[in-house]
């Protein structure tokens, strides 16, 4: 599968982009050094003044300063770390919950399965974004609250997927043999069932990373995310909303406030989507023929 | 068939119960003092009584199960509380805002579905050729453009530079006409009401405001429809009856039109139905970017101002609408396509 992915020029480009972002995230302290005055808070974007009007790109600030004189370059670079962090934590935790719920539901079966699946239905009956807004609103604003809210409403698809796979494998001979040999249920699930069923879940989870990051940035954009000044792409874009009209006679005067953070998030998501699209093609049984 | 519908209908109250339970649990994270804010309409009410009096007065310190049933009773009477951010009852705010969201959804769904199907068929017919790759790259870029980035760029250019598609729902002069006494609001949807009132200038103004959000939504969703159309068309293209049609000498474009595209449309129709539902609930960000005063913007504004009553009220509304319409869509598909019933 890896070979097919690398042979496809689109997914290869996706991988290249992804590696680029990983390097930026790892080398953030080198690319955009934190100023001495808040060494202990690297995720706070340094400010160079207090005026509201953005300042255009210059030698010291290659991407310019956005509203409140926050350095855009610094924010974009350190925002890469935030994006990876949010994406990995949300997808990872949802995956764990989904796997536990899905495995329990399918393995126990019967009435328990029916009840769990109806609970999943309830979770699925809310529009995801609205549900996330509700939880963030009730818990209070903040990046951590956004992540909790997203995990609460993201695990269901993994649970369903894993359940479907386990139902197919559950009655196979190797499982029955293990059971006949007196292996404990937990051990059967972990040793025999999961290795044969978890792969599609992991793939689907990795393909979701892009959308998770967009959604989190969207919630930040709505003003429910990190406090002002935190290195976060969504928030930087929400700043630019106030400047989309430019100045009289110069309608595109403040282009840099949206283009740089916007390009960062678009390319980041594009990387994941290119890989995901190629993966779906490889795995789509309909196209195999 | 009847047993399928019956089973689905039996689950309806259960799922609805789950929806109310979720909102109630979310509410129980709030202290009585936070909750009492939804009962206070003006600061004057606090002059003669303390917050504790109000908490007692509205019995917000009762045990959970009593509160739940009282709250449920209120909802069944259409009372969702008072919204601070919208300055009116949540139910009235929903009534005023929902037609706007519905209007945008109806407008957006046409280019989304037609454009997506068109791109998908091109992609499938030219499978693995440069045309296929180009179409898909175009669509994937759209799928990767968050609506808050693309929307702002659209506004910057089409509003800032060209002045074509302003944000909002109507220009001020059109708003005056709509709010005037002679204008009858039949549906709350500006375009439809303008036609019914024969106010053509208002109609064009409403269209002008709908174009930018529609472009933004279409480009976002094309990749989705493209993928499903492409995959199901490739599937059909390999079928025996398509080979037969070609073998008997039918021109290629008739084979595609009559035999391939029609059969490939079934999964697309299924997805399109659910997409309408998804859009109804997912327009929050698009509406915020374009300052389009629909239900999504109502929820977003309320959330920013921590107006719990309004957020929970609109969510209740979304939940009920989605559960019921999901059911209707499912049953309709089961009626149309007998294969659906098997699962």
Distance linking the first and last C-alpha atoms of chain A: 16
Question: Which of A169-176's residues contact partners 24+ apart within 8 Å by CB, and which partners?
Answer: A169/A193, A169/A196, A169/A197, A170/A106, A170/A107, A170/A109
Which chain B residues are within 8 Å of A284, Cβ to Cβ? 231
pLDDT value at residue A96: 95
Q: Using a CB–CB cutoff of 8 Å, tell me whether A142 touches chain B.
A: no
Closest CA to A163 of A89, A125, A108: A108
Q: Using a CB–CB cutoff of 8 Å, tell me whether A177 touches chain B.
A: no
Rounded to whole angstroms, the Cα distance separating A110 from A99 reads: 18
pLDDT value at residue A288: 52
Rounded to whole angstroms, the Cα distance separating A203 from A206 reads: 5
- When mean pLDDT is compared over A81-85, A243-247, B68-72, B122-126, the highest value belongs to A81-85
**Please, what's the b/e burial string for B201-231 (b: 16 or more CB within 10 A of its CB; e: otherwise)?**
ebbebbeebbebbbbbbbbbbbbbbbbbbbb
Residues A237, B232: C-beta atoms closer than 8 Å: no
Question: Which residues is B89 bridged to in the sheet?
Answer: B82
* Distance (Å) from the alpha carbon of A182 to chain B's nearest alpha carbon: 34
Residues A134, B311: C-beta atoms closer than 8 Å: yes
Residue ranges of B 74-133 with Cβ closer than 8 A to chain A: 133
Q: What is the pLDDT of residues A5-49, one digit of tens each?
A: 777 788 888 899 999 999 999 988 888 788 777 778 888 888 887
Share of residues in chain A with pLDDT > 70 (%)? 98
The gap from C-alpha B177 to its chain's centroid, in whole angstroms, comes to: 27
Report yes or no: A78 and A28 within 8 Å, Cβ to Cβ: yes
Q: Around Cβ B40, how many Cβ atoms within 10 Å?
A: 15
Q: Using a CB–CB cutoff of 8 Å, tell me whether A146 touches chain B.
A: no
Question: What one-character-per-residue DSSP string does A114-144 give?
Answer: HHHHHHHHHHHTS-HHHHHHHHHHHH-SSHH
Residues A265, B311: C-beta atoms closer than 8 Å: no
Mean pLDDT of the region B161-173: 82
Question: What one-character-per-residue DSSP string does B140-169 give?
Answer: HHHHHS-HHHHHHHHIIIIIIIS--S-SSS
Mean pLDDT of the region A109-136: 84
- Identify the closest residue of chain B to A115 by CA–CA distance: B14
* Distance (Å) from the alpha carbon of B98 to chain A's nearest alpha carbon: 15
pLDDT value at residue B266: 76
pLDDT value at residue A284: 67
Q: What is the pLDDT of residues B277-304, one digit of tens each?
A: 777 766 888 898 888 888 889 988 888 8
- Identify the closest residue of chain A to B283 by CA–CA distance: A129
Rounded to whole angstroms, the Cα distance separating A192 from A264 reads: 42
Question: What one-character-per-residue DSSP string does B63-90 give?
Answer: -HHHHHHHHHHHHHTT---EETTTTEEH
Q: How large is the C-alpha radius of gyration of chain A?
A: 23
* Distance (Å) from the alpha carbon of B200 to chain A's nearest alpha carbon: 29
Residues B300, A222: C-beta atoms closer than 8 Å: yes
Report yes or no: A228 and A177 within 8 Å, Cβ to Cβ: no
β-strand A70-71 against B82-83: which pairing, if any? unpaired
pLDDT value at residue B46: 67
Share of residues in chain B with pLDDT > 70 (%)? 93
Question: Which residues is A250 bridged to in the sheet?
Answer: A247
Q: What is the pLDDT of residues B306-336, one digit of tens each?
A: 787 888 888 888 888 877 877 787 777 777 6
Closest CA to A98 of A106, A86, A108: A106
pLDDT value at residue B45: 66
Which chain B residues are within 8 Å of A269, Cβ to Cβ? 144, 146
Mean pLDDT of the region B230-245: 85
Task: Report the alpha-carbon angle B12-B14-B16, nearest 5.
Answer: 70
Closest CA to B326 of B288, B278, B264: B278
Rounded to whole angstroms, the Cα distance separating B312 from B71 reads: 12
Residue ranges of A 96-125 with Cβ closer than 8 A to chain B: 118-119, 121-123, 125
Q: What is the pLDDT of residues B35-85, one digit of tens each?
A: 776 666 666 766 767 777 777 777 777 777 887 888 888 888 878 878 878
Answer yes or no: is pLDDT of B163 > 90: no
As a whole number, the mean pLDDT across chain A is 85
Report yes or no: A43 and A86 within 8 Å, Cβ to Cβ: no
Q: Using a CB–CB cutoff of 8 Å, tell me whether B174 touches chain A.
A: no
- Identify the closest residue of chain B to A134 by CA–CA distance: B311
* Distance (Å) from the alpha carbon of B269 to chain A's nearest alpha carbon: 18
Question: What one-character-per-residue DSSP string does A3-27 give?
Answer: HHHHHSHHHHHHHHHHHHHHHHHHT
Question: Which residues is B108 bridged to in the sheet?
Answer: none
Residues 6+ apart with CB under 8 A from A48: A55, A61, A65, A69, A71
Task: Please give the DSSP secondary-structure letter assigned to residue A59.
Answer: S
Closest CA to B138 of A204, A264, A277, A203: A277
Residues B322, A251: C-beta atoms closer than 8 Å: no
Residues B156, A252: C-beta atoms closer than 8 Å: yes
Q: Using a CB–CB cutoff of 8 Å, tell me whether A265 touches chain B.
A: yes
Task: Classify burial at A288, counting beta carbons within 10 Å of its beta carbon; exposed 0-12, middle 13-18, buried 19 or more.
Answer: exposed
Closest CA to B285 of A270, A259, A129, A258: A129
Residue ranges of B 212-271 with Cβ closer than 8 A to chain A: 227, 231-232, 234-235, 238
- Identify the closest residue of chain A to B34 by CA–CA distance: A138
pLDDT value at residue A126: 77
Mean pLDDT of the region A224-238: 87
Which chain B residues are within 8 Å of A137, Cβ to Cβ? 302-303, 306, 308, 311
Q: For residue B178, give both structure tokens.
A: 């709509």
Q: For residue B218, give both structure tokens.
A: 């279409």
- When mean pLDDT is compared over A261-265, B136-140, B163-167, the highest value belongs to A261-265
Mean pLDDT of the region A101-120: 88
Which chain B residues are within 8 Å of A282, Cβ to Cβ? none
Q: Using a CB–CB cutoff of 8 Å, tell me whether A286 touches chain B.
A: yes
Q: Using a CB–CB cutoff of 8 Å, tell me whether B167 touches chain A.
A: no
Residues B288, A240: C-beta atoms closer than 8 Å: no
Rounded to whole angstroms, the Cα distance separating A78 from A72 reads: 10
Residue ranges of B 272-301 with Cβ closer than 8 A to chain A: 278, 280-282, 284-285, 288-289, 299-300
């Amino acid at each position: 599968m890896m070979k097919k992915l690398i042979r496809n020029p689109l997914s290869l480009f996706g991988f290249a982009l992804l590696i680029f972002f990983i390097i930026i995230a790892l080398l953030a302290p080198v690319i955009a050094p934190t100023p001495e005055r808040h060494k202990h808070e690297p995720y706070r974007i340094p400010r160079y003044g207090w005026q509201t009007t953005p300042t255009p790109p210059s030698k010291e600030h290659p991407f310019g300063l956005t509203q409140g004189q926050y350095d855009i370059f610094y924010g974009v670079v350190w925002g890469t770390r935030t994006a990876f962090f949010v994406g990995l934590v949300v997808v990872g935790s949802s995956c764990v919950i989904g796997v536990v719920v899905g495995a329990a539901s399918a393995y126990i079966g019967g009435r328990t399965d029916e009840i769990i699946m109806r609970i999943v239905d309830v979770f699925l009956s809310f529009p995801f974004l609205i549900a996330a807004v509700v939880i963030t609103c009730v818990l209070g604003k903040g990046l951590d609250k956004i992540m909790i809210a997203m995990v609460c409403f993201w695990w269901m698809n993994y649970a369903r997927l894993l359940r479907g796979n386990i139902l197919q494998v559950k009655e196979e001979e190797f499982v029955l043999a293990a059971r006949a040999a007196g292996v404990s249920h937990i051990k059967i699930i972990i040793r025999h069932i999961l290795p044969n069923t978890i792969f599609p879940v992991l793939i689907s989870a990795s393909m979701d990373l892009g959308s998770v990051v967009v959604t989190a940035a969207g919630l930040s954009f709505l003003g429910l995310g990190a406090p002002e000044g935190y290195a976060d792409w969504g928030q930087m874009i929400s700043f630019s909303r106030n400047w989309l009209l430019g100045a009289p006679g110069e309608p595109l005067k403040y282009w840099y406030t949206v283009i740089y953070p916007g390009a960062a998030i678009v390319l980041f998501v594009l990387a994941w989507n290119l890989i995901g699209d190629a993966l779906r093609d490889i795995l789509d049984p309909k196209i195999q023929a | 068939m009847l047993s399928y519908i019956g089973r689905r209908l039996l689950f309806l109250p259960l799922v609805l119960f789950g929806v109310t339970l979720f909102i109630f649990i979310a509410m129980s994270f709030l202290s009585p003092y936070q909750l009492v804010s939804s009962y206070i309409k003006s600061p004057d009410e606090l002059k003669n009584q303390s917050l504790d009096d109000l908490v007692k007065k509205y019995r917000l310190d009762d045990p959970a199960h009593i509160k739940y049933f009282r709250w449920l009773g209120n909802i069944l009477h259409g009372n969702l509380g008072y919204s601070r951010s919208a300055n009116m009852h949540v139910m009235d705010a929903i009534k005023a805002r929902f037609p706007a969201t519905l209007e945008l959804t109806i407008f957006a769904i046409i280019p989304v579905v037609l454009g997506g199907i068109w791109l998908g068929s091109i992609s499938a017919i030219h499978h693995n050729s440069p045309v296929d790759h180009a179409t898909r790259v175009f669509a994937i870029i759209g799928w990767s453009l968050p609506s808050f980035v693309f929307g702002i760029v659209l506004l910057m250019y089409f509003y800032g530079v060209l002045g074509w598609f302003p944000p909002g729902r109507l220009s001020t002069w059109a708003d005056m006409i709509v709010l005037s006494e002679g204008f009858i609001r039949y549906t709350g949807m500006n375009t439809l009401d303008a036609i019914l009132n024969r106010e053509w200038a208002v109609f064009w103004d409403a269209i002008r405001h709908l174009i930018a959000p529609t472009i933004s939504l279409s480009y976002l969703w094309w990749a989705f429809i493209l993928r499903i159309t492409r995959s199901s068309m490739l599937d059909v293209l390999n079928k025996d009856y398509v080979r037969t049609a070609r073998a008997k000498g039918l021109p290629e474009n008739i084979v595609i039109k009559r035999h391939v595209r029609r059969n490939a449309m079934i999964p697309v129709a299924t997805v399109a139905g659910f997409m309408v539902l998804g859009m109804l609930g997912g327009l929050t960000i698009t509406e915020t970017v374009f300052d389009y005063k629909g239900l999504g913007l109502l929820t977003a504004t309320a959330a920013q101002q921590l107006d719990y009553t309004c957020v929970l009220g609109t969510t209740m509304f979304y939940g009920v609408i989605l559960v019921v319409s999901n059911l209707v869509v499912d049953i309709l598909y089961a009626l149309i396509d007998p294969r659906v019933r098997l699962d």
